[in-house]
Amino acid sequence: MTNINIACCTDNNYVQHMLVMLCSLLENAKSPSRIKIYVLGEGVKLSHEKTVTEFVQRYGAQISFIKINPRSYKKLKVSKHVTRAVYYRLGLADILCDINKVIYLDVDLVVEDDISKLWEMPLRGKHLLAATNMGTHFNSGVMVINLELWRKDRIGKRVFDYIVKNRAIIKAWDQDGLNAVLSQSFGPLEQRWNARALYFMFYFKDYDEAKYRVQSNPAIIHFTGPVKPWHYFCAHPKKSRYKHYLSKTPWANNGQDYSLLYLKYYFYPNFPKYMSRQIMNVVKMIMPSKYYYLMLKLFNIK
């Protein structure tokens, strides 16, 4: 049987969370020996590479660490809590030059179903498969990527150039560039393969059957937003799933607590803007689209 190729990106600060994601992936895979993992990394300690490699090999899976030169991405926008590692996926087609297909996974998620089901979904000539963000834009945290087509159409360079040119208006990092370039050339995934935080904010059983199906049976739980399950005060109802898989890793008893750093560098400076955005996301979810956009126009909400 052919390999199931998995790619993810990290720096040394996120190795713990990457290993939790990989643990969940391997724990739920029916044939973990088919899995080949490619980690695109910057500044990952050799001791951490060794820990991760030994853990992955216990399942019979393969793993390779690929060192990235961060200077290649110096023109791209970053912030105090978002590093250049978010952009490394743009180079996958050139880095994995002998591979024609890969599943890309963010490290702030856990996999709750057999990943081979996602791998076997047909690309049908699309550049990638991804779940949409309550509209026509897709979320780039889970993607099945057609690397052969990416190389042919130079997608990585086109997205890179778009982000550099539109640096002033970029808000969602690489995701903005990917959507700008591939808005007409991606195939939709079932939402359960990228169940973002919004799917767990309410109990949908009584008034939205489609969202309830995602909520009650997620294949991948993606902890989107600034508050993560490794923060002490995280209120995500599925944060226990992160802790469940963390308990199976070498970091079970000495994992890092990022709460104080988060408070200092992100939460306090951005709390008002974050709350207003979350309120608007909730309104958008429960209000019919035509009334939502009419409200934006009437009150001049950007």
252 is a domain residue: no
In a shared domain, residues 200 and 293: no
Query: Structure tokens of 34?
Result: 């088919």
The CA distance from 249 to 255, in Å, is: 10
Is residue 66 a contact partner of residue 38, using CB atoms and an 8 Å limit?
yes
In a shared domain, residues 240 and 278: no
Residue-range definition of the domain harbouring residue 134: 4-246
In a shared domain, residues 184 and 294: no
**CB-based burial, 83-102: b 16+ in 10 Å, e otherwise:** bbbbbbbbbbbebbeebbbb
In a shared domain, residues 137 and 282: no
In a shared domain, residues 217 and 290: no
258 is a domain residue: no
256 is a domain residue: no
In a shared domain, residues 280 and 219: no
Q: Residue 286 to residues 78, 81, 208, 283, 289: CA-CA distances in angstroms?
A: 32, 30, 9, 5, 9
Helix (H), strand (E) at residue 5: strand 4-11
41 is a domain residue: yes
265 is a domain residue: no
Query: Structure tokens of 213?
Result: 């199906």
In a shared domain, residues 219 and 275: no
Helix (H), strand (E) at residue 18: helix 15-27
In a shared domain, residues 206 and 281: no
What is the chain's pLDDT, residue by residue, as a tens digit (302 residues)? 799 999 999 989 899 999 999 999 999 999 999 999 999 988 899 999 999 999 999 999 999 999 988 777 776 666 655 667 778 899 999 999 999 999 999 999 999 999 999 999 999 999 999 999 867 789 999 999 999 999 999 999 999 888 888 877 777 778 888 999 999 999 999 999 999 998 887 766 666 788 889 999 999 999 998 889 998 888 899 999 999 999 999 999 765 555 555 555 555 565 666 667 777 777 767 777 767 777 776 766 65
266 is a domain residue: no
In a shared domain, residues 153 and 218: yes
Query: Structure tokens of 258?
Result: 């990022």
Question: What is the DSSP secondary-structure string of 89-114?
Answer: GGGHHHHTTT-SEEEEE-SSEEE-S-
257 is a domain residue: no
Domain CATH for 98: 3.90.550.10
In a shared domain, residues 182 and 237: yes
pTM, whole model, 2 decimals?
A: 0.83
In a shared domain, residues 152 and 17: yes
Strands 128-130 and 142-146: antiparallel
In a shared domain, residues 146 and 227: yes
Q: How many domains does the chain have?
A: 2
User: Terminus-to-terminus CA distance in the chain, angstroms?
Assistant: 50
